[in-house]
């Protein structure tokens, strides 16, 4: 690659993306999970370049979005609504409304208050909102403390006992449909053992919920690898 020629053509500063490398990494991750029915969801917040999103959409990627702007960008890139999930803290009522109107796969809830807000929006629209709940498994990701998100003292997600109550509430709601569970314990993970530990804790909750006739379809282990 002739960087001097690129500089003359595009001026500086500019970004260069190696799509072949990105595609290879995506397909390697997809291959690693091929033994089970699975779907890779790219975190749009990592890089929302439209050409990059289009390439991933063409590879059948799902998209994890943390704002309605990211949801719209993924749709613009060609993503199917049923392959988009809406995560993140601080979702507004209008964002929740638009997410429901786009009929995305599901919304990851971060708190009881957010669940009640979503239920009120779904009631206004007279539909059932598909939900997943972000569970805080109290597992140390063994990464930098500033980017750890899976311990009780971290501000993300809800503790197991609270999550259980939320699922029971959602089960009996006319406007909520519990379809998944989610955890995300941190970023820059070079050791997957904390994910294994967290998955075991959350899987126990899933089994308990199944005994209560709450059969979740999606088990979201988060990201942060590498």
- DSSP states along 138-178: ----SS-GGGB-SSTTSSSSB-HHHHHHHHHHHHT-SSEEE
Instruction: Break the chain into its structural domains and give their ranges.
Output: 3-29+38-220
214 exposure class (CB count in 10 Å sphere: 0-12, 13-18, 19+): middle
Domain at 3-29+38-220: CATH architecture: Alpha-Beta Barrel (3.20)
Q: How far is 68 from 92, CA to CA, in rounded Å?
A: 9
Better pLDDT: 54 or 9: 54
Q: Which of the 8 DSSP states describes residue 135?
A: B
Kindly report the number of other CB atoms within 10 A of residue 189's CB atom. 19
Cβ contacts of residue 15 below 8 Å, gap of 6+?
49
pLDDT at residue 154 in the model: 47
Query: Looking at residues 55-65, what average pLDDT do you find?
Result: 98
What pLDDT shows up at residue 139? 79
Among 66-75, 95-104, 217-226, the least confident range: 217-226
Distance of alpha carbon 197 from alpha carbon 91, whole angstroms: 29
CB contact burial 115-152 (16+ within 10 A = b; e otherwise): bebbbebbeeeeebbbbbbbbbbbbebebeeeebbbbe
pLDDT at 141: 55
**At 62, phi and psi to the nearest 5?**
-90, 175
Which residue is listed with tokens 């990592």?
A: 46
User: Does the pTM of the predicted model rise above 0.95?
Assistant: no
- Residue 128: pLDDT over 50: yes
């Amino acid at each position: 690659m002739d960087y001097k020629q690129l500089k003359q053509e595009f001026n500086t500063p500019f970004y260069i993306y190696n799509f072949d490398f990105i595609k290879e990494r995506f397909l390697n991750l997809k291959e690693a999970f091929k033994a089970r029915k699975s779907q890779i969801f790219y975190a749009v917040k990592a890089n929302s370049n439209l050409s990059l999103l289009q390439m991933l959409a063409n590879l059948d990627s799902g998209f994890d979005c943390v704002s309605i702007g990211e949801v719209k960008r993924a749709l613009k890139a060609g993503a199917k609504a049923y392959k988009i999930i809406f995560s993140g803290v601080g979702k507004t009522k209008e964002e929740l409304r638009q997410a429901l109107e786009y009929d995305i796969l599901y919304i990851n809830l971060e708190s009881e208050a957010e669940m009640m807000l979503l239920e009120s929006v779904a009631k206004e629209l007279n539909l059932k909102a598909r939900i997943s709940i972000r569970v805080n498994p109290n597992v140390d990701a063994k990464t930098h403390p500033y980017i750890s998100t899976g311990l009780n003292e971290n501000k993300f997600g809800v503790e197991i006992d609270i999550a259980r109550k939320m699922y029971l509430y959602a089960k009996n709601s006319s406007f909520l449909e519990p379809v998944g569970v989610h955890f995300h314990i941190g970023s820059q993970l070079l050791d997957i053992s904390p994910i294994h530990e967290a998955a075991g804790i959350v899987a126990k909750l899933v089994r308990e919920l199944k005994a209560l006739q709450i059969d979740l379809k999606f088990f979201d282990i988060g990201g942060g690898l590498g």
